[in-house]
Structure 1
Amino acid sequence: MPSFNDNIIDIFRANDGVVGMHWEGKTLVLLHHVGRRSGKEFVTPLVAAPAGDAYVVCASMGGAPEDPQWVANLETATGPATIELGPATLSVDYDVVRPGDPRWEDLYGTWRAYWPDAAEYEKKTDRQFPVVRLQVPPAG
């Protein structure tokens, strides 16, 4: 049986990155990451707040008490990550930024301002959510 994320991924790919519904007007990316223990490739849909020539995604997991596995997968990976952005598949550099890092407040604020559900996620946990800055390569 397809998972919730599988359905979002199917809609994303069928519509060149436009998902609609609850995400109407928002940018989503599909983040490809490799399990640090399993070695299996995973694809995770994430709300991506534009930030200049980059995007900020957040490891909120809807306000769950623990970080999603994709954060640890990125932290242990070497080299760039792969995202699907609209119809394009791109190799991107990334930085996992955790609370306490001087950049966190600004990056998290960018994502929080972009995604209205963030305030509800914050009410569900005492955890501060790591964010990831995805650096999109220059066009051309």
Structure 2
Amino acid sequence: MAEYIPPSIDWVRKHVEKYEGSGGTEATTLPNTDLPCIIVTHKGNKTGGIRKIPLMRVKVDEGYVLVGSMGGQPKNPVWVYNLRASPDVEIRDATEVQKMRVREVTDEAERKRLWEAAVQAFPTYDEYQAKTSRQIPVFLAEPV
């Protein structure tokens, strides 16, 4: 079994620990907000280790939209490369945990629909896209 490698950013690590440590009854929103989030457990593409990241909860049908915004920074978050290399993930949504498979959305019509769902959940995504020249990656996590 692969080793768990905690997030290197202090607040992210503490958030994941509280969310997971409570069994999904605490820390289910982003810190200092009422915006719901999920925990995505995935495999590191370089380390092979188990990684966990809190992301905005954007539920669409039976799946989740995962947005690689990184606050509109010029580069993708590392987890984007991890998902591209290993699409099998586990998603914790509060107390529910489900194995899922992700795929990067490249079809323009589907991407537009999912982006709109993401912006409805978190309007700041549009600001993040305006801040960067890269197209922010969008993934869809679907039940296995």
- TM-score, structure 1 normalization: 0.81
| Greater than 6 Å deviation, 4+ residue runs | none
Q: CA deviation at 1:122?
A: 2.1
Q: Please, which of 17, 27, 37 is the counterpart of residue 36 of structure 2? A: 27
Q: Residue in 2 aligned with 1:52?
A: 61
Counterpart in the other structure of 1:127:
134
Aligned partners of 1:58, 1:20: CA distance in 2, in Å? 15
CA RMSD of aligned residues (A): 2.3
- Unaligned 5+ segments in structure 2 are 1-7
Match of 1:89 in 2: 97
Q: 5 Å matches for 1:1-140?
A: 3-13=10-20, 14=22, 16=25, 18-19=28-29, 21-24=31-34, 26-77=35-86, 80-98=88-106, 101-136=108-143
Runs of 5+ unmatched residues, structure 1: none
Q: Deviations over 1:76-126 (max 9, x none)?
A: 115x3111111122101221124x644211111111121022133123212
Does the 8 Å CA contact 1:55/1:136 hold for their aligned counterparts? no
Q: Give the TM-score taking structure 2 as reference length.
A: 0.79
Percent of aligned pairs sharing the same letter: 22
Do the aligned residues in 2 keep the contact of 1:49 with 1:111 (CA within 8 Å)?
yes
Give the length in aligned residue pairs.
134
* Compared CA separation, residues 127 and 84, structure 1 to 2 (3 A): same
1:45 deviates by: 0.4
